[in-house]
Amino acid sequence: MFEPRVFPLMMYAEWYKEDVSPNLTKKQKIKLLKKISDTSLRRDITSPNVKFSKKDYPELAPFMHTEDLSGLQLYAVMTELFHEVHLKSKIPKPYPSMPRKKLKKVV
């Protein structure tokens, strides 16, 4: 059984991979990773009850449907960014990846 925050982390990671990542350059990704990392030194980002303003993260704002980001959302984005930037990292993610299924084309 997963702990309660694992499923939201998986969903936020999918959101990042599908909607955000393809639209950011490597330079933007590194800058965003550093920004979230700096935030994590000042505030807890591993809690779902911690909120961050959309205005503080303009890189993510175009892909958001709410005015706030949860701490877990930033945590998942930071984790995905870390694994993109450091491809050879052996550090495991704190959540499993979503299973991917190929969809059949319907005519």
Q: Are strands 68-70 and 51-53 parallel, antiparallel or unpaired?
A: antiparallel
Model pTM score: 0.81
Residue ranges covered by each domain of the chain: 6-85
Q: Cβ neighbours of residue 5 under 8 Å, at least 6 residues apart?
A: 46, 48, 72
- CA Rg, the chain, in Å? 14
Query: Per-residue pLDDT tens for 60-107?
Result: 999 998 889 999 999 999 999 998 888 777 777 766 676 666 656 666
